[in-house]
Structure 1
Amino acid sequence: MNSQLIIAAIASHFTPFYTKKYGQAYLGDCLEIIKLITDDSINLIITSPPFALTRKKEYGNESAEKYIDWFLPFAHQFKRVLAEDGSFVLDLGGAYLPGHPVRSIYQYELLVRLCKEVGFFLAQEFYHYNPARLPTPAEWVTIRRIRVKDTVNVVWWLSKTPNPKADNRKVLKPYSQSMKKLLKNGYKANIRPSGHDISNKFQKDNQGAIPPNLLEIANTESNSAYLQRCKAARVKPHPARFPQGFADFFIRFLTDEGDIVLDPFAGSNTTGFVAETLQRRWISCEIKEDYVLGSEYRFGE
């Protein structure tokens, strides 16, 4: 699907808040904007919507009890606009039950509904580990000391069909020193205690290690160019930004240059910025004007 046709369809009702070489940012309700997008036209939807947190945040969030019913209308539209080999990556933080040191299972209930009711396939689950996250919730972690700090978001990689486009060769990690030594000195083929047969093929240099589904990406941009520019312009930045490394991993892994990436809950538009850098077409939607205004500062303006 030509991205210009998609933009023209959206532009019939919405004017882009700003436009870059590869994409457009829109101010408005993403549900209304996505309804204008043609079926089977988006290669990747990657987003981190407002989580179902116990405490209300300024960017808006539903309670765990209401979250699934709130989210499903978006999910039906996401599936409609995805290409046959497209992917939907959903980053979700967890929540405790109000007043109790036990967890909500809303993320898992949502996953079941997305697969059973909407018709998505679970391609793979990921875990986004942020080692820099503060020890919260304070009541259970730092005051009563009956829980450890929560540093992981679940990430559901969903697909429209059982065979989404993906290539892990695009996201290889540098080899460890021990692996470099093995490749240099060789390895004696043998049976491991677990019963796995490690053949001579293990010595092949694949130019990097295949990454795990635990993504360790710290979110520590306390003095980034984006924040500095927002401060200089007296624009309030988005308080819950996900790191560029998160978007970079999935955009490289699941798309090719020229593909179309959509972030329906764009916030500070990390996704759009990374997509622009990687020469992917992109569309971002954000309902709060302050956040869209500030997001343009990611692009150096």
Structure 2
Amino acid sequence: MAKATSTLPQMDLFQRAVCEVYSEAGESPVANDALYAAVQSKLGLSDAAMAERTPIGRAGAPRSLIKRKIRWAQQSARALGLVERTGTRGEWRLRRRTGDMGQVAGAGTALLAFSTKLGLAIWARCESVFPHLREQIACCLTSPPYLLARQRAYAGPGTEQEYIEFIVRALEPVVRQLLPGGSIALNITNDAFESGMPTRSLYRERLVLALCSELGLHKADELVWHKISAAPGPYQWASRTRQQLNAAYEPIYIFTPDPKAWFADNRRVLEPHTPAQKRLIARGGEARSGVFSDGAYRVKPGSFGNPTVGRIPRNVWSVGHRDRASIAMNAFAKANGLQPHGAPMPYVIAERLVRYLTRVDDLVVDLFGGRLTTAAAAEANGRRWLVTEQIWDHLVSGATRFGKAIANGESNIQVDTNGSVML
């Protein structure tokens, strides 16, 4: 796939490098000399460039312009509430938070939190980045803020119409860059009710219609995520009035702009055959004949006997919320005074969708990065990725799952002096 350049607003070259250094250091302090050396390495600056001095001010005192830019970037990060002094002269670290809310990216802010050879994690609102992206996208796999009656820290617009417009606006620039055979995979809540009533909102149906009519998408499928670890609820309508059953699933809608070109492939997510199916194949298939459901299904001798690599998964996935990475990230957030992310998409679901909907080296994006689950799934399966997240604390916690990948450098990411990003 041809590479393309996208200019990200307000992504100063030195700001990106400085923020990346502090992100990689975690809670460890970074001395200024170490910061200079790390930024020099990241930007490929020569020793001669670092040592060069230029007369500054009325006195004409010789100063390093490069180190000056690094210090300005450091002060910018401090003004944004990202870093703080340690108490030791010349040492800084990521800011430790004591409140419930992490630092939220302002309108137009777009700073690189960290990168790997395959991807970029950007501290920004999605609308600050994706309208400027010129790379073709193979898949957008995202779980946006849910439509909730009582807003949480991560929640989006409250009314149904506002929420639908919010999702359509967010996805519009992604759809413009989506490959004809690409996919949008959207995980949203099913548990939205009409105000004061035990009847479910039709916002899901209205959202699907809006995405298809306004953005030209086609609904390819509606996966059911059966949440085997879901807490009982909705409390008001199931436990108090007893009118509803306990809810235990969420939909994952899959869209494509061109069904005929759609390159999803279930052979990338085949499951092992059951022991019973293996025995059936071994004996050459069915020995009986039969007609079922008024002729809709027919069985004849030899049916289901062809040897195959595996079975095609069904579109109902029973998966719990918890995994080791999520537990580790929550522990890291708690230990460092960061705001935890309370509504994760399970890694198993993200990993299956990435393999099902994309090919190696395809670009996968996530507008609402959260715990960076989509990014982690893309990284593990050789897909390039680009993720935005507006809450800095989530990026700091999410970076812990990329430790080795971050340490291995960013040879597939090229940044020029104008702040352009080559994917």
TM-score by length of 1: 0.92
Q: Is the 8 A contact 1:230 1:297 kept in 2?
A: no
Superposed structure 1 runs of 4+ greater than 4 Å apart: none
Following TM superposition, by how much is the alpha carbon of 1:61 offset from its aligned partner in structure 2, in angstroms?
2.0
CA separation in 2, counterparts of 1:60 and 1:281? 27
> What residue is the counterpart of 2:306 in the other structure?
204
Partner of residue 283, structure 2 = 185
2:384 to 273, 281, 284: 281
Counterpart amino acid of 2:268? K
Structure 2 Cα separation of the partners of residues 138 and 206 of structure 1: 46
Q: Specify which of 34, 53, 58 is matched with residue 130 of structure 2.
A: 34
Counterpart-to-counterpart distance in 2, 1:287 and 1:75: 16
Can you list the C-alpha shifts for 1:160-197, whole angstroms capped at 9, x where unaligned?
Answer: 11131111011111222221221122322523322222
Give the match's secondary structure for 1:16. strand
Once residues 288 and 333 of structure 2 are traced to their aligned partners in structure 1, the CA distance between those partners, rounded to angstroms, is 57
SS at the partner of 1:192? strand
RMSD value over aligned CA atoms? Answer: 1.9
For 1:58, the aligned partner's letter is: A
For 1:243 and 1:258, the matched residues in 2 are separated by 23
Is 1:161 equivalent to 2:258 in the alignment?
yes
CA distance in 2, matches of 1:282, 1:75: 16
Partner of 1:296, secondary structure, is: helix
Quick one: which amino acid aligns to residue 118 of structure 2? Y
Unpaired runs of at least 5, structure 1 = none
How many residue pairs match? The answer is 298
- Which piece of structure 1 moves more, 220-229 or 107-116? 220-229
Counterpart check, 1:85 vs 2:181: yes
User: Is 1:135–1:148's contact at 8 Å kept on the other side of the alignment?
Assistant: no
CA distance in 1 between counterparts of 2:151 and 2:111 reads 30
* Secondary structure class of the residue paired with 2:313: coil
Offset at residue 97 of structure 1 (A) = 1.8
Q: In structure 2, what is the Cα distance between the partners aligned to 1:24 and 1:135? A: 37
Partners of 1:234 and 1:145 in 2: CA distance: 40
Structure 2: state its 5+ residue gaps: 12-109, 405-423
| One of 154, 173, 192 as aligned partner of 2:271 | 173
Post-superposition offset of 1:300? 4.1
- The separation in 2 between residues aligned to 1:9 and 1:280, in whole angstroms, is 21
Q: CA deviation at 1:10?
A: 3.1
1:265 matches 2:368: yes
Computing the radius of gyration over CA atoms, which structure comes out larger, 1 or 2? 2
Is 1:60 equivalent to 2:58 in the alignment?
no
SS across alignment from 2:174: helix
* CA deviation string 1:95-123 (max 9, x = no partner): 11222111001011000111112100111
> What is the rounded CA distance, in whole Å, between the counterparts of 1:11 and 1:198 in structure 2?
61
| Residue type at the aligned position of 1:252 | R
CA distance in 2, matches of 1:165, 1:2: 18
Question: Match of 1:17, SS?
Answer: strand
What's the CA shift for 1:272?
0.5
Deviation of the 1:11 alpha carbon: 7.4
CA apart distance, 1:254:
1.1
> Scaled by the length of structure 2, what TM-score is found?
0.67
Q: Is 1:75 aligned to 2:75, yes or no?
A: no
Query: How many angstroms apart in 1 are the aligned matches of 2:356 and 2:180?
Result: 17
Q: Which residue of 2 aligns with 1:231?
A: 334
Give, in angstroms, the shift of residue 227 of structure 1: 2.2
Identity %: 28
Q: What is the letter of the counterpart of residue 367 of structure 2?
A: P
